[in-house]
Amino acid sequence: MSSTPSSTLTRRAFAALLASAAAAPALAGPGPRVVTLLGDSITAGFGLPSREALPARLEARLAPLAPGTRVRGAGGSGDTSADGLARVDFSVQADTAVCLVALGGNDLLQGLEPAGTKASLDRIIRRLKARRIGVVLAGLTAPPAIGRAYAREFGAIFPALARQHGVALYPDLLAGVAGVPGLNQRDGIHPNAAGVAVIARGLAPVVARALAAR
């Protein structure tokens, strides 16, 4: 069937409308900045409803410091630093501005060699930086009860990597929470809602500074 002038005009107008709609997102400006939490059960919110888990609590704390920031959880319960390395490329999505790397707790619980933990975290940081994603590294303080030499070697991993790569360091993810009964669940390992609130309050200024530097 041949086209009439009016039908041709209608098709042209429709094509123009589609082109305008496709261009609209670009004209609307960038979306919210994304912070991804690459970690284990603590960042996954083990034992807590999502509204009380670390991603939601940190997002709320960032609201006045870095308005419009979205916090995305990428925690895997039981993950070691090697597990985080195995999935970093797909767990940390391309729209991430800053990634909080909070791994090592399960390495510690399993008594893994600190050198192996350090090597995995080093590779995670390198991969994120190669993708132009900002990094905040969250450290952990090993209890001396597991052996003073081991605790010292493990604790040294995080500041050493932060200096080497020039990334922000939050020295102890569980600062003010570890060993405090009222801030932990019954297992004595995972923070409860009140404990998560303490962690989020401490992390927020560090993450906000990392976002501002992007």
Residue 170 is classified by DSSP as E
CA 170 to chain centre: 13
| Residue positions annotated with a catalytic role | 41, 187, 190
Query: Which stretches of 22-170 are assigned E, i.e. beta strand?
Result: 34-39, 70-75, 96-102, 134-138, 168-170
Residue 143 is classified by DSSP as P
Q: Measured between alpha carbons, how far is 171 from 162 in angstroms, rounded to an integer? A: 10
HSE-CB for 52 with a 13 A CA cutoff: 11
Taking alpha carbons only, the member of 42, 111, 96, 98 closest to residue 65 is: 98
CB 121 within 8 A of CB 137: yes
